[in-house]
A and B are shown apart, each in its own frame.
Chain A
Amino acid sequence: MVTGRALVVAILGFLVLPAAVVAIAAFNDRALLSFPPQSLSLRWFIKAFSYRDFQAGFYNGLIVMLASSGIALVIGTAFAVALDRYRFAGRALIESLLLAPLVVPHFTIGLGFLILAAQLGAMRSFAVVVVCHVVLVLPFVLRSVYISLRNLDRRLELAAESLGARPARVLFTVTLPLLLPGLVSGWLFAAILSFNEFTASLFVTSQRTQTLPVAMYNYVREYADPTMAAMSLIFILVTALLLTLANACFGLGKVLNVDHGR
Chain B
Amino acid sequence: MQRRPFFGLFVTPAAVTALVFTAALVAVLQYSVRKHVPGSLDVGGLTFDNFTAMWRPLYGRVFLDTLLLCLLTSAISLLLGYPLAYALVRARSAMMKSAILIIVVTPLFLGEVVRTYSWIVVLGNNGFVNSVLLKLGMIAAPVQLLFTVTGVTIALVHVTLPVVVVMLAAALAHIDPAYEKAAESLGAGPVRVFMTVTLPLSAPGIIAGFTTAFAWTFSAFATPQLVGGGKVNMISNLVYQLGFANFNFPFAASLSVAALALTFVSLWMLRFATRPFEKLGQH
- Which A residues contact B (CB, under 8 angstroms)? 4, 7-8, 11-12, 14-19, 21-22, 24-25, 32-36, 74-76, 78-79, 81-82, 85-86, 88, 90, 93-94, 97-98, 100-109, 111-116, 118-119, 131-132, 134-135, 138, 167-168, 171, 189, 192-193, 195-199, 202-203, 213, 216-217, 220-221, 228-229, 231-232, 235-236, 239-240, 243-244, 247, 252-253, 256-261
Contacts and interface: CB of A to CB of B under 8 A. Distances in A.
B4 A85 contact: yes
Contact of B89 (A21, A244, A260): A260
A135 B21 contact: yes
Interface of B: 4-7, 9-11, 13-15, 17-18, 20-25, 27-28, 30-31, 41, 80, 83-85, 87-89, 97-98, 100-107, 109-115, 117-122, 124, 126-128, 131-132, 158, 161-162, 166, 169-170, 172-174, 176, 211-212, 215, 218-222, 226, 235-236, 239-240, 243, 249, 252-253, 256, 259-260, 263, 267
Contacts of A217: 113, 222, 226
Contact of A21 (B13, B104, B128, B267): B128
A167 B104 CA distance: 40
A81 B11 CA distance: 9
Interface of B: prevailing SS: helix
Given A105-B236, A203-B243, A239 B124 contact: no
A98 B119 contact: no
The 9 closest A-B pairs by CB, nearest first: A196-B111, A112-B24, A18-B118, A167-B5, A79-B14, A35-B131, A258-B169, A97-B18, A105-B219
B165 to A, nearest CB: 9
B106 A240 contact: yes
19 contacts: A11-B83, A21-B121, A24-B128, A88-B11, A102-B215, A105-B218, A105-B260, A107-B259, A112-B28, A113-B27, A115-B27, A171-B5, A198-B111, A217-B113, A220-B120, A240-B106, A243-B102, A252-B102, A256-B170
